Chains A and B, each alone.
Chain A
Amino acid sequence: MRGCLWLIPLFPLVGALVNATLGWRFERAGRKGFVHVVGVGAMIASLALALSALVELRGLAPDDRLLKDTLWNMATAGRLSFDLGIALDPLSMMMVLVVTLVGTLIHVFSIGYMWDDEARSYWRFFAWLNLFVFSMLLLVMGDGFVLLFFGWEGVGLCSYGLVAYYYTDREKAAAGMKAFVVNRIGDLGFLVGLLLLFWGLGGAWPGQGRGGSPRYRPTLDVNALAPATDARAARALAPRVDVGGGQAVRMGPTLNFRELRDQIVEQRTGVAEHLRHERVLGVALATLIGFFLFVGAMGKSAQFPLHTWLPDAMAGPTPVSALIHAATMVTAGVYMVARLHFLFALSPSAMGWVALVGAATALFAASIGLFQHDIKKVLAYSTVSQLGFMFVGVGVGAFQAGAYHLLNHAFFKACLFLAAGSVILGCHHEQDMRRMGGLARRMPITRWAYLTGCVAIAGFPIASGFFSKDEILWRAFTARHLALFGMATPWLGPALCAVGILAATGTSFYMFRSYFMTFTGEYRGDTARGGEPPPATGEASTPSRAHGHAHAPRESPLSVTLVLALLAAGSVLTLLLGLPRLWTGEAPLLERWLEPALPAAVEHAPRWMEWLFQGAGVAASAVGLALAQVLYRDGRSALPARLQERFHAAWAIVYRKYYVDEVYDRALVRPALALSRALSWIDAYLVDGLVKTAGAAARLLAALDDAIDRHVVDGTVSLVANATIRSGRALRRIQTGRVQTYVYGAVAGALAVILLDFLIR
């Protein structure tokens, strides 16, 4: 396996290239099956390699668990030199397994889901999907910021391509653009964070003098800039600091995660101290770096206020929502924060900020999810909310709990999304839950998969979600080290925990609401069609893409149900990875696995309190379930409608997503459009006017010159030529060819000469 790590991302890339270049030929030749054979085959090869890497990694001692594979040197500039390097440590391994395993399952699901799709570009779908997996694998396997950023942008691009998959539909194409643009805003923050970090480590452009601050003088002059032409020379130039035990740390700006970690974690290098004390605009550099990097994570992981693209991204096909907008891409932000945990740990303020935004988003998105009617929108907001939970986890320092929640979420959310996809397929592309109902009998496998996902996400201790969510809330409750804007706030942890419990109650409520609305009661698809349209909500429900409701819903094909069953099993079985210490007396499996990569949290509180917490978590979930059951079971209760009447104002605010989109529209989009229109006007009338005036003047001058040339210069020449021609033409007449005429001429001439002779004499 060593030396072959790069094959893991290579297979999806090859699959994407093959499908992108040859896929349409396959389809035209009637061999549509080749497309998914290539796509799924690439994923399976990748998964197999990932599993063999896992086996090899397990064979190593816990502290040596690192597989590295450097392909080639990418660039060298001054002392900075970076390689195209791929590395697998336990955290990356976990991510790679999630991506390849869930990715493979979703590829298989897509066969059944996309086969009869009306967009008629099966190959395009699989090419994008494979390219996405390639980018995501680069993101999680990259050994440094370069590959991380490459993958980071790559997944954004693929997300755009897949959200706007039905690009002929204007609304869906716009959703793709929205996803891309909002992500770009986050990426800007990410870049700013990276550049600040680079500068903070002493980086500077050649000729720009010294980077960093005058105080930053660890033991050697790390700012000595000398040109280096190749990678080896660049490495040799970097000063080293002896940290004892025969170990030395290479100093200076770096893009490699492990070198960065060594510099920061080793106190003797002075980097940590420098980052903490150096101030930019009165804020500690470490805080600023953490904040801006987290802005990038907010964009990618859809945290408030950059969350708006994710619900709109549901315009893509359902497998895309499952793979990209639930299981993998949106967790990239969480992965990045966990990967850079040593950097975030430098600044309690940055951590507090991460956790606060996470908790706010968790509650905010959960409340929006309460009253959505579109089944995919419910799941989208639930994803935003769960990502919030993950950020609470990594924000309070429980990196392992955050990672565990990420893992669980990948399984149960993929399961929920795919089950929703199966429902949508069964209901002929209907996504409005008010037109579903009673599907439990017609789609039993889908129903059980969805129910399993609900139980897992709601947090009942019989499936995985409980364990990670409980761990996160517990860690939040015990966290006392957080700060906000430089002020210590020991109360923040418990507050976050309270918010989290509230959000968890909401999660349980809306998930079971969606379950009851979809699967219990009577099927409403037929009746809603003939009767009046669903109550006016202000939002156009997704237009039915297909042929109405001519057929009753029925269970989806095997490739769909098989994947659902596997994912449902996965959402339950992942609980084994995180059985709490409280129950088993030893550290959870995943904690031990991640230990070398992520620091374990420290326990603070007595056992009875932890039991109490778990009880509270279950109680919250149960409250949510009970409420949903009372209100929505079988669709019989009229209570929801009455409550909606009674509290209409509040309901409308929540239903319209707190008007965030509208605010953005008024505050940002429209001014931006107005500005662009104004600029376009300036361009069209002022700039173009100037250009046109200049052009007209030049043309006038040219016309004048042309006239002179034509009439004066050419005129003279033509005159001569014309006179010649005309005289020739006239004189030609004389030459009649008749001899006798000439004789007349000759006689006349002779007579004239004689006459003249007489006259002149």
Chain B
Amino acid sequence: MLPVGLPHFLALGALLFCLGLLTVATRRNAVSVLMGIELLLNGANVNFVAFHRYGAGDDSGEVLAVFVIVLAAAEATVGLAIVLAAFHTFRSIDVRGADSMWG
């Protein structure tokens, strides 16, 4: 059985980040985009936690991870509020429709 080491966690983080990036870049649905952002954040979180477990001697990785989770919660709140407002304005949550300021 292959021992699980830092590279595996980093690969998982990178995979999560790439999936999140792909979601953000391709999905039309604003809620999906928000979900992609969550993936991005969590990809980064995995890195933090992994570096804490295998690298640094202090607790900064975990603290940052908690910060990121809090941040993600706050971000989801604001993001959903924006989506709601966008839906009120455009009667749609398609991110490509929200381009009325395009010159």
Question: Which residues does A use to contact B, with CB under 8 Å?
Answer: 732, 735-740, 743-744, 747
Contacts and interface: CB of A to CB of B under 8 A. Distances in A.
A743 B102 contact: no
A739 B96 CA distance: 8
Nearest to B33: A739
A744 B102 CA distance: 18
A740 B95 contact: yes
B25 interface: yes
A738 B21 contact: no
B80 to A, nearest CB: 16
Interface string B5-18: 00000000000000
A743 B21 contact: yes
A735 B101 CA distance: 9
A743 B99 contact: no
Contacts of A743: 21, 24-25
- Residue with the highest number of chain A CB atoms closer than 10 Å, among B24, B25, B26: B25
Given A732-B103, A743-B21, A737 B26 contact: no
B26 A738 contact: no
B98 A737 contact: yes
A431 B98 CA distance: 102
Given A747-B21, A747-B25, A740 B96 contact: yes
A743 B24 CA distance: 8
A739 B21 CA distance: 12
Contacts of A737: 98-102
Given A740-B95, A740-B96, A735 B102 contact: yes
A607 B101 CA distance: 131
Contacts of B33: 739-740
Nearest to B26: A740
B102 A736 contact: yes
A737 B100 CA distance: 8
Contacts of A735: 102-103
Interface in B24-78: 24-26, 33
Contacts of B25: 740, 743-744, 747
A274 B33 CA distance: 129
A740 B97 CA distance: 12
Contacts of B100: 737
A740 B102 contact: no
Given A736-B102, A738-B96, 8 more contacts: A737-B99, A738-B95, A739-B33, A740-B24, A740-B26, A740-B96, A743-B24, A747-B25
A747 B25 CA distance: 10
17 contacts: A732-B103, A735-B103, A736-B102, A737-B101, A737-B102, A738-B95, A738-B96, A738-B99, A739-B33, A740-B25, A740-B26, A740-B33, A740-B95, A740-B96, A743-B24, A743-B25, A744-B25
Nearest to B101: A737
A736 B21 contact: no
Contacts of B96: 738, 740
B94 to A, nearest CB: 10
Nearest to B99: A737
Contact of A739 (B95, B101, B102, B103): B95
A506 to B, nearest CB: 107
A736 B103 CA distance: 8
Contacts of B21: 743, 747
B13 to A, nearest CB: 16
A130 to B, nearest CB: 83
Nearest to B24: A743
A752 to B, nearest CB: 16
Nearest to A747: B21
Contacts of B98: 737
Contacts of B26: 740
A732 B21 CA distance: 26
A744 B22 CA distance: 10
A150 to B, nearest CB: 84
Contacts of A744: 25
- Residue with the highest number of chain A CB atoms closer than 10 Å, among B33, B100, B102: B102
B5 to A, nearest CB: 24
B101 to A, nearest CB: 5
Contacts of A736: 99, 102
Interface string B84-97: 00000000000110
A443 B43 CA distance: 137
B82 to A, nearest CB: 11
A736 B99 CA distance: 7
Nearest to A732: B103
B22 to A, nearest CB: 10
A747 B17 CA distance: 12
Nearest to B27: A740
Instruction: Rank and list the top 10 A-B pairs by shortest CB-CB distance, nearest first.
Output: A737-B99, A737-B102, A743-B25, A732-B103, A737-B101, A740-B25, A738-B96, A743-B24, A738-B99, A739-B95
Nearest to A743: B25
Contacts of A739: 33, 95
Nearest to A729: B103
Contacts of B103: 732, 735
A155 to B, nearest CB: 86
A736 B95 CA distance: 12
A740 B103 CA distance: 17
B56 to A, nearest CB: 24
A747 B33 CA distance: 16
A735 B102 CA distance: 7
A740 B24 CA distance: 7
A503 to B, nearest CB: 107
B1 to A, nearest CB: 34
A146 to B, nearest CB: 87
Contacts of B99: 736-738
Nearest to B28: A740
A732 B98 CA distance: 17
A735 B100 CA distance: 12
A147 B24 CA distance: 111
